[in-house]
Structure 1
Amino acid sequence: MNWEIIVNSDYKDTVAETGNKLLIGNGYLGVRGTLDEHEKEELVAITLAGIYDKVGNGWREPLNAPNPFWSKIHLDDQLLTARSENVIFHEQNLQFRYGILIRETVWKTEKGNITLKTERYADINAVNKLHYRISLSSDQVMHLRLSTGINSDVWDIHGPHYKGVRLIEKDSCLACEALVQNDIDRVAVVREDTIAESSIYEKRLVTDESKIFNCYEIELNPHQSFELTSEIAIVTTKDHSDALNKAIQVCQSSSSSDKTNHLSKWDKIWNTCEVEIGGDEMAEMGMNYSLYQLNIAAPRHSKSLSIPARALSGQVYKGAIFWDTEMFMLDYFLWTQPEIAKTLIGYRIDTLSGALEKASQYGYEGAFYAWESQEGGFDACSDYNVTDVFTNRPVRTYFKDKQMHISSAIARGIDYYVQVTDDFSVLLEGGLITVIECAMFYRSLLLKPLLKDHFVINDVIGPDEYHERVNNNAYTNYMAHYTIKCAIEQAKAVMTLYPEAYLAIDKVNDISEKLKKLEAVVDKIYLPKPNEFGLLEQFDGYFTLEDITPDIAKSRLKHPKEYWGGGNGVASDTQVIKQADVLTLMEVRSDIFSPDVIEKNWHYYEPRTEHGSSLSACMYALTACRFNRPDLSYPFFLKSALSDLKGGGKQWAGLVYIGGTHPAASGGAWKSLIQGFAGLELSENEPLLSPNLPEHWQYLVFRINYKGKLIKIRINSVKGSYHILREEIK
């Protein structure tokens, strides 16, 4: 398989997409795939996980670290860049098997040809480390000037987040210590350069208002290149109280074996998850690239951290944690690297207090999780998430207030983790009370109409965000019922298996009384049923809305960046939906909907879906597999698998930039492949497989971790019949 992503151009209008596509990272940080000479205007960013700041009335967002890869090359007074007219070769090459980004640019000048080669990677083992190499050569004798160091003038969406920087040379290192606007946190970036002994140069240190760098006056000839290696460390006060000195220590701890260890760790990761697809190179490459994106976002360095909606590709969506993690990404980690899945679950358990507080603020009981979660479960979601393109005024939205289904995603994540792993420690260490509090939240939402004998849930937003404040959204009602039922079942399981632990938890959290309240309502929640045509109405009154296609809705736009939803959007009073809603329910609860019903709803809702979210395609891919139509599933699977490789996704919501990588689509592609085409399901003794591969596929090979055993599975397809081979690997 081809493990290289190559970009041969540096155009201003594609720099954002290239930065996403060539992203490197290690779960602690993400480095956008920009060029060495780029400035913040080209969206240069090293986005840090789990550390945030808010400036004035701007949105609270993650910090971007000062850039230690800043480099400029001059021939006399001419700045050489990838956009220079005299470029005769230019290439960026992401070797995504190992997360290494290589750049080569050749300039033809009057004095001869000049070749620049650089290499950078984020250490997958020591996550505070980055590694950087610069090589300059020429085919003639010439003099060049290389300026390279740390640039603190960073790109921020709602910044600036640094109120001051200290630029110093210390212990032979270039150092930048940035003070965050909150007057609490600091970010230290340290870089130590080593020059090959054969290189001919003179060096001087330069410091200006925003940069500290070494200026190298270099003598080149056809037999003499200039070789520079930089060891880089980034440490924040979240990691260590003395971030600067700790960064110097980390930087100087580098050794010649770092890269070997880095490569070895990546090989071990791929041994748990690599996918092979016979007869479809595009799908194979797209799927493994999607897994690369998930792997570089995985918080291996933590026991309690999660993956933002745009991973670590920038500050978009405030670097917050959405339902994306539990509903779209978790399954991949759970079946391949369960220790990471436990870390993702741990984040939700540890932010329960924030969910309890949010529920209380709205007058509810239990746990109402943040729609856009930051530290401690703080909800970073604004009341005004969209800007009116005509008035330039913020528009009131209700994502934070009314997307009640968020808490069911956390309950589902914990429940599925226990089912797959048999690891009940999660329940004993806070998971049980988390699920119960999610259930108590849904209980507090229930309303009983005077003349009815059931409870309804009104005034919500389902997965389809174009229709706000609706009643009895099918997804929300069914998932509320699922969460309450799950809480009851899990409590009984813990009571049976771990009676002493249960009594201890009950004593502190009064579980027994809460279970009585939950048992009293669980079977009385209104669960809408399919009508005489087999169709499940998305919410009360949905079928009475204007029935048009997304293309017709689009033709009504008066501005290309106009928001489709809300009070006045072109989709609001129509049956056009943003993303899979009913079909998301039918995938998550495929155990209670027949293939025939799923098929009828698929054919009804898909033509009415705009697919304005990267979360949508995979749900249609998965549900098409539920009624044995891999031909219908395949294009939606491919759309998810290629979402970051091909780019072209939605970049704007109104006037708000929402570009970046799409880890939920990557996770959804894995779900479509393994739980869809391969038909992976749980059973008591071993995983069950019900393959239904696309017709042109010859075989599918994948790996799963089932209860501590790493199993390689090969499904051979011959004229519609399947031969399954299983092999336990180490």
Structure 2
Amino acid sequence: MNTSEERSAGADDWTVAVNGWDPEKVTHHGNLFLLGNGCMGYRGTLEEFGPDEKVGILIPGLYDRVGDAWREPVNAPNALFTRIAINGKWLNPLDIKPDAHQQSLDLRTATHRRLTRFTVDGVRVLLSAERFLSADKVNLMAMQFVIEIQGQAEVTVETGIDQRIWDLNGPHLEGFSASQVDGTLLLESSTHEKGEPVAVAERALWQSKVPVGSETVDGSMRRWQFSADGSVSLALEKVATVHTSLDQHGVTDIDELACRELAVASEAGYKKLHAAHREVWEQRWNRADITIDGDREGQNALRYSIYQLLSAAPFHSEHLSIPARALSGQVYKGAIFWDTEIFMLPFFLATFPEVARNLVRYRIHTLDGAKEKAREYGHVGAFYPWEGQEGGFDACTLFNVTDVFTHRPMRTYFRDKQIHISGDVAWAVWRYVQVTGDHVLLWSGGFEVMLECARFFLSWAYRTSDDKHFVLLDVTGPDEYHERVNNNAYTNYLVRHCVRAMLEAARIMAESDPEKFSELASALGFNDAERDCLQDFADRLHLPQPNPRNGIIEQFDGYFQLEDCSLDQLKGRIIDPNEYLGGGSGLATTTCILKQADTVLATFLFDDIFSPAQKEANWNFYEPRTEHGSSLSACVYSLVATEIGKPDFAYEYFLKTATIDLHGNSKQHVGTLYIGGTHPAANGGAWMVAVLGFAGLNLLPDQVRFRPRLPSQWNGLCFSFCWQGLLASVSIDNDVIEVHADPTNSSPIPCAFDGTLQHCQPGQVLSLPFV
């Protein structure tokens, strides 16, 4: 790290802070200090920054395309833009080196702060600011900006709504129209592709008597000029609202909606708005926080990971999900990947099942797009997108990577061969039902999703020549370095699981309400003949088996015939640090080197199928051959390492996962494609390792099972969980597990440990000793 900068965790493990100024870290800090409330994301940039510094106010779910460029989410104009000039010189640490600088993020209250000291022409200036995106009113943002001046100077303060917008493939907004009414600045615009309206409203109010001259307004900017003499302290409060067509809810004019909400918020004032916001975050932390005894670095990294998940979560909507780069920017087209179901959903299932329901409902709402994609490729059922945008549209192109040597686009098979995405979605639907007991979701679209995914898999499958088995050919598994393979183990095991889960859901629904299910089945065209056909498909689907000699599962047909070089040998062949290792001519394609966990992920997800010895054999074989070129990888190896008696190795990969955005040392390019931003899948993976791995929590349909295996770095662990609508907190040390059932629970929680089942009654503390 640059010696001018030092990152710290803060005295109470609730703060992430950077002391010192390093211009090379501006992009990283935009990710590190990201604010979010599910409706908007505000990158951790300084108030005086603009598009060159990647200022971004991301609106998830609102997409736009310009020409032949990729469709991506829209960034809104920056309503908190503020800058100061002393004697005509604008204060910006990129232009004037600051005497001191600190930037911080309060995880407890989701509040961003900065403090920067300048000396200009002998005049000392201290700028401090605090801002938040409201968790109480999700279209609202607010800021306090304080200016302290020592000396004589001509001062200019400029603030307003910055129309300069950072886009990767824009410009996405056009037709800007600025107006001012009763102290409110309003900036209206619309998207390029579909003309979707975007309205930003802003108010600015000085909080003390200041030597401010008359205000002038130029478009969407306000300006004050005055003379400072001696000691001057100024405090400016700003409140703003951002509304788009996503927020209309029957409202014809979103500009009126933006102004009306702003008027109410301005009347309340910054302190009350911030208090309401803090109250929401306090409630969320009461449910989601984890405390670790004995490991300050792990504690802060885990809290930061949880913060990122909560910041991106759509608490307010079932028509949004969490993009692969959360709300940190337009990378990966702001699209929804399978990351959400496999790596983020488990956290929400155990902490906020209402958010888990929203994430699953999002896939139900986008089923039509998945069915359309299946038809596009000549299949029936639902083929869910690799990069999902609104309506289930797959934004993934056929040429996703550029060759760094020829500068030509490379054909990739992410879009058309990763059939496991439909399995990941169906897995999530069934997992949600199992953990929450919410069978209503099955009746309101969940079963239909599972059925259409099963139909798709059958339509993709082939029968072997002897008619004994079904096989899944020409697919790409999680390991994207090996495309168009046959019988990828992860995919095949997942498909069988999902088809059988659909059949089990059908049985349960038919038994609970035969008449209602008969009507639903008729509407979906599902009959006994199709049920039997899908049952036969699941029973006869080929599953790559562990080798009886060594227990290793071949990742796909022919994998063991590839060159078995070491990772160091492969890296020694790299010419350009950004060259893509997969694809038709990638260095890894003809070798056994994987991009990320693949077969080992299958051994984790389907815990009941594989023995501990088989898990260990596959972990030992595949781990040295895995590049971990994806942020989805390290947590999987960490999880399985806890199961096979390697908790200290698991801890190393836990830290790698949990600190990925704190350190900012993740892969930034694939070929020439920029893929920077935050990593919510890794954030979810860190939680999974802590709770599902080290604490050994397993939320089963009929019981909650514990199998703790804490790393040597931890003396204890405390967390909470929700199961079947019941709440409990857990504390684990080296001798005992204590389960505290919430006194408001309506029934006991069946807790299993070491083969013994006990029921934790409402309000009871259940102690389970272990060695």
5+ residue gaps in structure 2? 1-11, 745-771
Native 8 Å contact 2:88 2:156 kept in 1: no
Native 8 Å contact 1:309 1:319 kept in 2: yes
The equivalent residue for 1:528 is 544
Native 8 Å contact 1:47 1:314 kept in 2: yes
The equivalent residue for 2:567 is 550
Listed as ranges, the matches of 1:256-405 within 5 Å are 256=269, 257-405=272-420
The equivalent residue for 1:6 is 17
Shift of 1:685: 5.1
SS across alignment from 1:120: strand
Native 8 Å contact 1:188 1:243 kept in 2: yes
2: distance between equivalents of 1:10 and 1:729? 50
The equivalent residue for 2:632 is 615
**For each residue in 1:139-162, what CA deviation from the matched residue of structure 2 results, as whole angstroms up to 9, or x when unmatched?**
334331111111111011111112
SS across alignment from 1:114: strand
The equivalent residue for 2:500 is 485
The equivalent residue for 1:407 is 422
Aligned counterpart in structure 2 of residue 117 of structure 1, from 124, 128, 139: 128
Structure 2 letter corresponding to 1:713: V
**For each residue in 1:564-618, what CA deviation from the matched residue of structure 2 results, as whole angstroms up to 9, or x when unmatched?**
0000111010000000000011111111001111101111101000000000001
Question: Greater shift after overlay, 70-79 or 267-276?
Answer: 70-79
The equivalent residue for 2:649 is 632
**Structure 1 residues 159 and 194, CA, compared in 2 at 3 Å: closer, same or farther?**
same
The equivalent residue for 2:241 is 233
Shift of 1:498: 2.5
Native 8 Å contact 2:636 2:685 kept in 1: yes
SS across alignment from 1:102: strand
- Structure 1 residue 203 corresponds to structure 2 residue 214: yes
2: distance between equivalents of 1:218 and 1:492? 76
Shift of 1:86: 5.0
Shift of 1:172: 1.5
Give the number of equivalent residue pairs: 724
**Structure 1 residues 324 and 14, CA, compared in 2 at 3 Å: closer, same or farther?**
same
SS across alignment from 1:604: helix
Coordinate RMSD, CA, aligned = 1.5
2: distance between equivalents of 1:259 and 1:62? 27
The equivalent residue for 2:675 is 658
- So what's the TM-score if we normalise by structure 1? 0.97
Native 8 Å contact 2:434 2:700 kept in 1: no
Shift of 1:43: 0.7
1: distance between equivalents of 2:126 and 2:484? 59
Native 8 Å contact 1:576 1:609 kept in 2: yes
- Structure 1 residue 643 corresponds to structure 2 residue 660: yes
Structure 2 letter corresponding to 1:698: N
Native 8 Å contact 1:111 1:142 kept in 2: no
Shift of 1:452: 4.8
Native 8 Å contact 1:137 1:222 kept in 2: no
2: distance between equivalents of 1:504 and 1:218? 74
- Structure 1 residue 253 corresponds to structure 2 residue 269: no
Native 8 Å contact 2:184 2:201 kept in 1: yes
**For each residue in 1:121-145, what CA deviation from the matched residue of structure 2 results, as whole angstroms up to 9, or x when unmatched?**
0000100000011111123343311
1: distance between equivalents of 2:580 and 2:136? 42
Structure 2 letter corresponding to 1:377: G
2: distance between equivalents of 1:62 and 1:723? 45
The equivalent residue for 1:187 is 198
Native 8 Å contact 1:122 1:130 kept in 2: yes
SS across alignment from 1:645: helix
The equivalent residue for 1:676 is 693
The equivalent residue for 2:587 is 570
Structure 2 letter corresponding to 1:520: D
2: distance between equivalents of 1:302 and 1:86? 43
Question: Greater shift after overlay, 360-369 or 506-515?
Answer: 506-515
**For each residue in 1:682-729, what CA deviation from the matched residue of structure 2 results, as whole angstroms up to 9, or x when unmatched?**
345541111000013111000111222321110011xxx434342427
Aligned counterpart in structure 2 of residue 105 of structure 1, from 116, 119, 137: 116
Listed as ranges, the matches of 1:439-458 within 5 Å are 439-458=454-473
Structure 2 letter corresponding to 1:369: Y
Structure 2 letter corresponding to 1:522: A
Question: Greater shift after overlay, 371-380 or 510-519?
Answer: 510-519
SS across alignment from 1:520: helix
- Structure 1 residue 55 corresponds to structure 2 residue 70: no
The equivalent residue for 1:495 is 510
Structure 2 letter corresponding to 1:315: Q
Question: Greater shift after overlay, 623-632 or 53-62?
Answer: 623-632
The equivalent residue for 1:45 is 56
Native 8 Å contact 1:291 1:667 kept in 2: yes
Listed as ranges, the matches of 1:129-144 within 5 Å are 129-144=140-155
Question: Greater shift after overlay, 240-249 or 455-464?
Answer: 240-249
**For each residue in 1:9-56, what CA deviation from the matched residue of structure 2 results, as whole angstroms up to 9, or x when unmatched?**
444432111100000010001000011111111111000011100111
1: distance between equivalents of 2:441 and 2:426? 12
Shift of 1:84: 4.5
**Structure 1 residues 46 and 9, CA, compared in 2 at 3 Å: closer, same or farther?**
farther
The equivalent residue for 2:222 is 214
Shift of 1:405: 0.3
SS across alignment from 1:101: strand
The equivalent residue for 1:157 is 168
The equivalent residue for 2:599 is 582
Shift of 1:641: 1.0
5+ residue gaps in structure 1? none
The equivalent residue for 1:605 is 622
1: distance between equivalents of 2:515 and 2:21? 63
SS across alignment from 2:126: strand
The equivalent residue for 1:726 is 740
Structure 2 letter corresponding to 1:518: L
Native 8 Å contact 1:203 1:214 kept in 2: no
Question: Greater shift after overlay, 110-119 or 31-40?
Answer: 110-119
Structure 1 letter corresponding to 2:135: I
SS across alignment from 2:660: coil
**For each residue in 1:246-281, what CA deviation from the matched residue of structure 2 results, as whole angstroms up to 9, or x when unmatched?**
111111111132111111110000001100000001
- Structure 1 residue 517 corresponds to structure 2 residue 525: no
The equivalent residue for 1:27 is 38
2: distance between equivalents of 1:705 and 1:559? 48
1: distance between equivalents of 2:315 and 2:229? 45
The equivalent residue for 2:29 is 18
Structure 1 letter corresponding to 2:530: K
Listed as ranges, the matches of 1:408-487 within 5 Å are 408-487=423-502
1: distance between equivalents of 2:308 and 2:701? 32
**For each residue in 1:212-239, what CA deviation from the matched residue of structure 2 results, as whole angstroms up to 9, or x when unmatched?**
2111114445554111101100001221
Shift of 1:551: 2.0
The equivalent residue for 2:727 is 710
Structure 2 letter corresponding to 1:521: F
Question: Greater shift after overlay, 410-419 or 495-504?
Answer: 495-504
**Structure 1 residues 223 and 41, CA, compared in 2 at 3 Å: closer, same or farther?**
closer
